[in-house]
């Protein structure tokens, strides 16, 4: 009886495992196809100054609409792209496309903001990464300080190598943010040893504002400590007015989230910038 049950469980395990593997292979092949046939697009989500509501940046977010697989979310395909190494060419495309878009917006006379691009550790550690950044800046004539690279705390697992790469990036003059802060195992004081400009407070914390006093205290601590260490703070995933007010009241200077704006297709993002133009100093 026991062994029969065991056998059944094993079978279920392998079957779940195989389904997952099948999906992964599908995604992997899909990613290669999507890259070849240029099925990727970028959406842009505004980042605002919480004090005056002005747009200070746009975060480029990858979108994949596949004729066969439908709309696949980054949450599902980015890990596959990372595992397979496909994130390196895909990430290069993202960087080039976002910077190219920024150049067009500037040529149109739209305000100077920051273009934020997500960078996977795998890309960050790629031997050609620094050259790629330098080349993209040169090709687009973009001010280095207008480009912001969003990396996660996982770079802390290799402090020495990361410090060397970040030092090079700061020499070039780009801005660095730590994305999803609070979800990893790093501390603000450890981050202080790295040349980092912005800390993005993970949206799982923002989601609990107004619901969990402990989380609120934690968010206040991150903001206070961060400010003392001279980081600028961005609250991500702001979905309600009370969350925005809480962050503003507690001296978090920047924010991003559905309550402010969803990530937008290129033209809609451009329209927002056109509206903002008279109010923003270039």
Residues that bind Mg ion (CB under 5 A): 118, 150, 179-180, 236
Cα gap 49→252, rounded to integer Å: 9
Nearer of residues 62 and 223 to ligand C2E, judged by Cβ: 62
Minimum CB separation from Mg ion for residue 150, in Å? 4
Using CB under 6 A, list all residues that contact ligand C2E.
45, 61-62, 73-75, 78, 87, 91, 94, 118-120, 150, 179-180, 203, 237-239, 257-258, 263
CA 11 from centroid of its chain's CA atoms: 39
Q: Are strands 264-265 and 55-66 parallel, antiparallel or unpaired?
A: unpaired
Using CA of residue 97, residue 258, residue 281, residue 274, what is the dihedral sign? positive
Is 238 within 8 Å of 256 (Cβ atoms)? Answer: yes
Nearer of residues 5 and 267 to ligand C2E, judged by Cβ: 267
Q: What are the residues facing 265 on neighbouring strands?
A: 43
273 binds, among ligand C2E, Mg ion, none (CB under 5 to 8 A by kind): none
Burial level of 108, CB count in 10 A (0-12/13-18/19+)?
A: exposed
Minimum CB separation from Mg ion for residue 279, in Å? 25
Nearer of residues 66 and 150 to Mg ion, judged by Cβ: 150
Nearer of residues 126 and 146 to ligand C2E, judged by Cβ: 126
Minimum CB separation from ligand C2E for residue 116, in Å? 8
Nearer of residues 62 and 273 to Mg ion, judged by Cβ: 62
74 binds, among ligand C2E, Mg ion, none (CB under 5 to 8 A by kind): ligand C2E
Residue 200 backbone class (left: φ over 0; alpha: ψ -120 to 50; beta: rest):
beta
Q: What are the residues facing 63 on neighbouring strands?
A: 41
**Which residue, chain included where needed, has tokens 């309600």?**
240
């Amino acid at each position: 009886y026991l062994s029969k049950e065991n056998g059944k469980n094993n079978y279920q395990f392998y079957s779940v495992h195989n389904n997952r593997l099948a999906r992964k292979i599908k995604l992997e092949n899909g990613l290669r196809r999507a890259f070849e046939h240029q099925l990727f697009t970028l959406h842009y989500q505004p980042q605002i100054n919480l004090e005056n509501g002005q747009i200070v940046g746009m975060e480029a977010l990858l979108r994949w609409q596949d004729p066969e697989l439908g709309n696949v979310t980054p949450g599902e395909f980015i890990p596959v792209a990372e595992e397979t190494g496909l994130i390196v060419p895909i990430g290069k495309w993202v960087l080039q496309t976002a910077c190219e878009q920024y150049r067009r917006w500037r040529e149109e006379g739209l305000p100077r903001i920051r273009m934020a691009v997500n960078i996977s550790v795998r890309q960050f550690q790629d031997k050609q990464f620094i050259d790629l950044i330098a080349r993209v800046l040169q090709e687009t004539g973009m001010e280095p300080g207008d480009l912001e690279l969003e990396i996660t705390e996982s770079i802390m697992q290799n402090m020495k190598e990361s410090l060397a790469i970040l030092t090079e990036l700061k020499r070039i003059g780009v801005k660095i943010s730590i994305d999803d802060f609070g979800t990893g195992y790093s501390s603000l004081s450890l981050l202080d040893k790295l040349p980092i400009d912005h800390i993005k407070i993970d949206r799982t914390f923002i989601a609990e504002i107004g619901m969990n006093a402990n989380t609120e205290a934690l968010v206040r601590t991150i903001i206070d400590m961060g400010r003392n260490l001279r980081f600028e703070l961005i609250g991500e995933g702001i979905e309600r007015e009370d969350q925005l007010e809480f962050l503003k009241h507690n001296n978090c200077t920047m924010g991003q989230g559905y309550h402010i704006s969803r990530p937008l297709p290129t033209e809609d993002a451009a329209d927002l910038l056109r509206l903002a133009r008279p109010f923003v100093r270039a």
